[in-house]
Structure formats: C-alpha cells, structure tokens
A and B are shown apart, each in its own frame.
Chain A
C-alpha cells in the first residue's frame, strides 16, 4: 500500500520541523528513512501514525487521506524505538487487548510469532519484570501480528540479541516479498544496507533525496551505501 506525503508542514513553537515535505513510500520495498539528528524523521513517522497533527499538507494511504480518520491505523504495524508497555499487564493480556480492540477475532499469526521469537515463557509475565530486549521482541510481535499492509519500524533491532535481530530481519524481508510497504528508521548502517532498497534522505525538514539506493550510489559516486549516506550527510553539513 502506497504512502504519499504532499506539502507536509509541522512546527513546534517557532521551530519548523517539516517544511513542506513531499515523498512517496512504495509498496513491496523497504524504504529507509535516514538523515542527521533533528531532521524530522520521528515527526514524519508520528504524522503518518496520527500521533502528531500536521499544520498543513496531506498524507494519503492507499490513495485516501488520513485527516480526521482513525480506522486507517488498522493497516499499520508500528514498532517504536523504546517500547513502553503498561507495567502491570502481562504480555498475553496485551496481545488479547490488541485483538479485542481490533475486533477481528484471534490472530492466527500471533501464536506463530510468539514461538518464532521464543517468547512462550514471557507470556504470563508482567512487563515491569521484562528486560528491554524482551520488550522489544514483544513489540515486534505486536507490530506483525495482524499482517498489516504497512510496517513502520523505528530502530527496530536496538536492544535485540543477535539471534532475535536476524529473525526480525528475515521477517521484514518476508513481509516485503508479500508486497508490504516497510518504512525503516535505523542508524545501524549494516542493517540499512541489508534491508533497504529505496531511500528517503531527510534534511532540515525537507526531502533531499528520494529514490532507489542505486541512484543514491550513482549520485554520490560511492559503491557502499554506508559511504554514500555519510557523503550525503557531510555534503549537507558543508552546505549548511
């Protein structure tokens, strides 16, 4: 499912974070959202999720505007950087809550994902007793369990052990094969290199580059994606 962003503006007080941003996230690909700190990545994600309300501009998901809508979030799975679940609820209660709230019946994929991430022993534990890595795995289950059309992953492998990180990577690639749109924010360059086929480079609230990673390589004259991104960031700093 395609995400189209046109003329998106958002300011917090006098600080303009998004300055008329235009971009498209294509289905069937992992789109990497990169850029220097405070360039507007998180604000863009929050606008798509409806957590932050834009000042102007439009976001279309599957050709439909999300303004004033709330049901479109059914199509999105979100994995935050630092998941913070209700401390007194257990993991199984959270999963049941998400299923009940969506009203789509039991998720068949849920049980499969719990096993996939070796979380059977954590099902009846309250979140207050879980480690950061376990919570991150729980967040992965919550994001993928409804097989959503769009996945928004904000630094998804931070805190995960190497086995879980590889499993998550495989899960992302599998989703892409099924034609899902994946928007990935990551500062781990190896992860970006392995997963991303399209790139959105944000700079100072605007899109400085949006396209295939090969085009970015050509534009910067660097073969390695990591070097291409670094070059892009350095040249942007030079311009600034």
Chain B
C-alpha cells in the first residue's frame, strides 16, 4: 500500500505540473463566472452550464488521458523495470489523471459560484456528474491507449469514441425511435440511455432540474424512473459501471501487454 501511495504521489506531481490543466480550470471558471454574473436563478445557471460540461469534460478526459499515456511511454517502461506490481502502476496513473482533471473541473466551475454565494444543490449535482464523466472517460481513454500501440491510432480512436458518444449515439437513438415508433419504447429507451454515459448524465440532470416536460412522453417515463430514489441510485450504479468496466479491462490488458 505504501508503495502504491508513493507511486500515486509522483504520478500526481507529474500530472499536476502539466501547464495546460491551468487553462482547463480557467475555461470553466471563465464560463461559470459569466453565468454567475448574468444573474437568474441557480437552476438556470446549472442548465446553461450543463451542455458545456457534457461536451467538454468527456473530450478533455478521453484525449488528455490518451495523450498523457503515450507521452509517458518511457516513464511506464522505467516503472515496469522496478520491483512493482503492474496493476499498481496502472491504477496509480488512472487515479492521478482522473483526480487532477476532476479537481480542475470542480475548482474552475465552483469557484465563481462560491465567491458569488450562489452554490446550490443544482450546481453541486452538476459538479458530481461532471466528475463521474471525467472518471468514466479517463477509464475509456486509458483503455484505448493500452489497446493501440500506435499513438496516432490511439488518439484517433479516442476522438472517434467521444464523437460517437457525443453525437452519433443520439442520432442512432432518434433513428430507432422513428423506425419503431409503433412499439412501446419505454424500456428500450432506458437501455439506450444507459449505453451512453453522456446521455445518462444529461437525462439524469435534466430530470433533477425538473425540465422533463420539455421532453414529451419519453421525458415523463424517464422522469418517473429517475425521480424516485431507486432510479437515482440505479443511474449512479450504471455510471459507476462505466468507470469500473473500462478500468478493469485496461488493467487486464496492461498486465499481459508487451513493452
């Protein structure tokens, strides 16, 4: 355990000194500041921030983790030649990247609201879900990097995955809904939502923000599910699976990988 914490300490030192993470924090604080100053209630502020969080946190997490992985190739080799367990090397890196990105996102987004004394439950919910997305997309980014030895292929695949989850998936869901409109779609739509961490987060937050009326019949069905406690915890569990499954797959792959 002591060895793992030592590894984590030095991975964190290395990640935290990356200069452009400062700009990532600055981006969120700039947007949050503008929204906080524009006035309106905190629900409107959270809704305004929602789309940016759903767009920016996944792409930054997936690309940053992939780029960091390929840039640390030599460091990985150095660590692998030390008396260390392989899974410990991987897990410490995953925690260091996820924690640092989450910290930048939370500090950047929350600070203007804290200064403005308008940090409410809606914003805290948004921060929690953004952190969940950061952890999930870091896991996915590292999985892609462990699979592809070639840097360009790996970063390309990470970008394509983000593109799928952010844009293509919604199109496919819409197409499915149109094609099968004659059938009851409540349960399949739940499954489709669960198969994309961005959609899952978006819908859960929209339900929490009580704007489901804008989403028609499906919105009402989903609201029934998400608004009760069981639905809330089930959603968190699915998001947790989106973090754990890619992470477990990455560690499995890393343990057998040739360097």
Chain A contacts to B: CB under 8 angstroms: 12, 46, 49-53, 70-74, 76, 78, 80, 82-89, 93, 97-98, 100-103, 126, 142
Task: Give chain A residues whose Cβ lies under 8 Å from the Cβ of B2.
Answer: 103
Interface string of B245-259 (1 = CB under 8 A from A): 000000000001011
A97 to B7, CA, bound (A): 8
A–B complex contacts, Cβ < 8 Å, 18 sampled: A51-B80, A70-B84, A71-B83, A72-B83, A73-B84, A80-B74, A82-B74, A84-B74, A84-B78, A85-B75, A88-B14, A88-B15, A88-B17, A89-B10, A89-B14, A89-B17, A100-B6, A103-B3
Decide if B86 is an interface residue (CB 8 Å cutoff).
Answer: yes
* CB contact between B13 and one of A85, A89, A102, A142 (< 8 Å): that residue: A89
A78 to B78, CA, bound (A): 9
Contact B259 A73 (CB under 8 A): no
Task: Give chain A residues whose Cβ lies under 8 Å from the Cβ of B14.
Answer: 86-89
Task: Give chain B residues whose Cβ lies under 8 Å from the Cβ of A50.
Answer: 80-81
Task: Give chain A residues whose Cβ lies under 8 Å from the Cβ of B256.
Answer: 53
Q: In residues 8-55 of chain B, which contact A (Cβ within 8 Å)?
A: 10, 13-15, 17-18
A57 CB, nearest partner CB in chain B, Å: 15
Task: Give chain A residues whose Cβ lies under 8 Å from the Cβ of B258.
Answer: 12, 46, 51-53
Chain B contacts to A: CB under 8 angstroms: 2-3, 6-7, 10, 13-15, 17-18, 71-75, 77-78, 80-86, 256, 258-259
Contact A74 B18 (CB under 8 A): no
Contact A73 B81 (CB under 8 A): yes
Main secondary structure of the interface of B (DSSP, over half): helix
* CB contact between B3 and one of A72, A87, A101, A126 (< 8 Å): that residue: A101
* CB contact between B75 and one of A78, A86, A100 (< 8 Å): that residue: A86
Task: Give chain B residues whose Cβ lies under 8 Å from the Cβ of A126.
Answer: 17
Tell me whether A84 and B83 are in contact in the complex, defined as CB-CB below 8 angstroms, given that A12-B258, A51-B259, A52-B258 are known contacts.
no
Contact B83 A88 (CB under 8 A): no
Task: Give chain A residues whose Cβ lies under 8 Å from the Cβ of B77.
Answer: 51, 80, 84
A173 to B207, CA, bound (A): 72
Which residue of chain B has the shortest Cβ distance to A71 in the bound complex?
B83
Task: Give chain A residues whose Cβ lies under 8 Å from the Cβ of B6.
Answer: 97, 100-101
* CB contact between B85 and one of A51, A70, A103 (< 8 Å): that residue: A70
20 additional A-B residue pairs with CB within 8 Å, beyond A49-B81, A97-B10, A103-B2: A46-B259, A50-B81, A51-B258, A51-B259, A70-B86, A72-B83, A73-B84, A76-B81, A82-B74, A84-B74, A85-B74, A85-B75, A86-B75, A89-B13, A89-B14, A97-B6, A98-B82, A101-B3, A101-B7, A103-B3
* CB contact between A49 and one of B3, B7, B80 (< 8 Å): that residue: B80
Which residue of chain B has the shortest Cβ distance to A102 in the bound complex?
B83
A12 to B149, CA, bound (A): 13
Tell me whether A83 and B74 are in contact in the complex, defined as CB-CB below 8 angstroms, given that A53-B256, A88-B13, A97-B6 are known contacts.
yes
Task: Give chain B residues whose Cβ lies under 8 Å from the Cβ of A98.
Answer: 82
Contact B13 A101 (CB under 8 A): no
Contact A101 B18 (CB under 8 A): no
Which residue of chain A has the shortest Cβ distance to B18 in the bound complex?
A88
Task: Give chain B residues whose Cβ lies under 8 Å from the Cβ of A72.
Answer: 83
A101 CB, nearest partner CB in chain B, Å: 6
Which residue of chain A has the shortest Cβ distance to B81 in the bound complex?
A78
Tell me whether A84 and B73 are in contact in the complex, defined as CB-CB below 8 angstroms, given that A46-B258, A53-B258, A101-B7 are known contacts.
yes
Which residue of chain A has the shortest Cβ distance to B255 in the bound complex?
A53
Task: Give chain B residues whose Cβ lies under 8 Å from the Cβ of A70.
Answer: 83-86
